[in-house]
Amino acid sequence: MVTVNEAKERIIANTETLPAVQIPLGEAVGSYLAADVVSPIALPPFRQSSMDGYAIVHSDVTEAGTSLLLAGESKAGQVDLPVVSAGNAVRIFTGAPVPEGATAVVMQENTSVTDGFVRIHEFPVWEGKNVRRAGQQIAQGAVALRAGTLISPGAVGFLKGMNVNEVSVHAKPRIGLLVTGDELLKAGEALEPGKIYESNSAMLQSGLAQAGIAEVSISYASDDLDATIEALRVLLEQNDVVLASGGISVGDYDFVGKALEALGAGTIFYKVRQKPGKPLLFGKKGDKLVFALPGNPASSLVCYYEYVLPALKKIMGSKEPFLRSVQLPLRHAYRFDGERDEFLKARVEGGEVVSLDGQESFVIGSFAVANAIIYLPVAQNRVEAGELVEVHLLPL
């Protein structure tokens, strides 16, 4: 049995990042950049107005009420621009190019127009007011995004704005998921005595989709050693990472560990000194990673967030694979006994963290409203209200 930190260290040490691939930017959301992206142009590429108003020479405004001759306009996309000379003003719109000679833009709410003259009702007007400089967002040739950056919708918009249409990202892993258990029913089947509906595959597949991984193959095996061996053999041949749900404890019908051994997979660790999720196995067959997760849904999801997801993020090129960790005050006192660290389903609310009801390993309902996991090492098994605890924030 290993500690929580030992388990995480061994997983990261045994996980390699996949090679880079060049893909269209529109397909890259959820991927991590394999190389820096350098901006081919400046953003904005020209001086740009940040307001609807009037482009002027700022030094013309010597007092509130200064009048300037209206001498044209500049709208977004316009090429033939008037030149702003002393004593003149040009009507301008948000995003439009600032004409040559203009040094400031006065927003229209601070002006009035009468008989072809614009009266400026503010003073002073400083140089550069309401003018976006060329390259103010990013200069041509500057690094726009660093290697290891997650491609988000915001990143897509940023890169598209500089005419970047393809990016180099790390490939996403192919995931194989094995579900075991004779007690499990598939969706739509009639409920029978002693049976339960299987939910772990949908839960884990949803977590993988949230992480940007859509290529998941799901197999099912009865509580039989030969059937488990064959299902795992196929999944290991076809995928980069294999997750097994259930069948990893010490019961008479738990065959995943034996099947992996029969297939020649090496066990890097089995069992973690934690609650829930003690019977977690991590191993490798060649360069393929294997995680055997507990069957209880809350245990399975804790292990996914704390161990599987970081490995997947490293595979995809993330420089910060673990859940973001913060220190927050605990709203209510919490105590536990035993020799295992505890993970608690929790909610962050109003600058503090609340331990939710239903912490048992089979209870998944509390995870449905959780947005965080509290991590309490054995050394911190008596926590008073208001005491700081380590909180791992769940992905949104």
Give the model confidence (pLDDT) of 212-242 as tens digits: 998 899 999 888 899 999 999 999 999 999 9
Q: Domain count for the chain, please give it.
A: 4
Residues 176 and 301 in one domain: yes
CA distance 355 to 207: 22
Structure tokens at 379: 């050394």
- Do 56 and 95 lie in one domain? The reply is yes
Structural domain includes residue 320: no
75 CB-near residues (< 8 Å, 6+ apart): 92, 93, 96
Do 289 and 187 belong to one domain? yes
Within this chain, do residues 75 and 206 fall inside the same structural domain, yes or no? no
Confidence category of residue 252, pLDDT binned at 50, 70, 90: low
Residue 379 predicted with pLDDT over 90 = yes
205 and 78 both lie in a single domain:
no
Q: Is residue 24 part of a domain?
A: no
Examine the domain organization and report whether 124 and 69 are in the same domain.
yes
- CATH at residue 229: 3.40.980.10
Look at residue 177 in the predicted model and tell me its pLDDT.
Answer: 97
In a domain, 23, yes or no: no
* Residue 163 shares a structural domain with residue 146: yes
Confidence class of residue 190 from pLDDT cuts 50, 70 and 90? confident
Which pLDDT belongs to residue 199? Answer: 86
Query: Does the pLDDT value for residue 147 go beyond 60?
Result: yes
What residues have CB less than 8 Å from 317, skipping those under 6 apart? Answer: 17, 18, 31, 32, 33, 34, 147, 148, 169, 170
Is 341 part of a structural domain of the chain?
A: yes
Does residue 19 register a pLDDT over 90?
yes
Q: pLDDT tens, 87-111?
A: 999 999 999 999 999 999 999 999 9
Same domain as 164, residue 123? no
Q: 253 falls in which pLDDT band (50, 70, 90)?
A: low
pLDDT at 46: 96
CB 41 within 8 A of CB 140: yes
Looking at the fold, whether 93 and 204 belong to one and the same domain comes out as no
Look at residue 184 in the predicted model and tell me its pLDDT: 78
Burial of 301 from C-beta contacts in 10 A (0-12 / 13-18 / 19+): buried
Say if strands 241-245 and 288-293 run parallel, antiparallel, or are unpaired. Answer: parallel
Strands 184-185 and 372-376 turn out to be: unpaired
Give the structural domain span for 179: 4-18+172-315
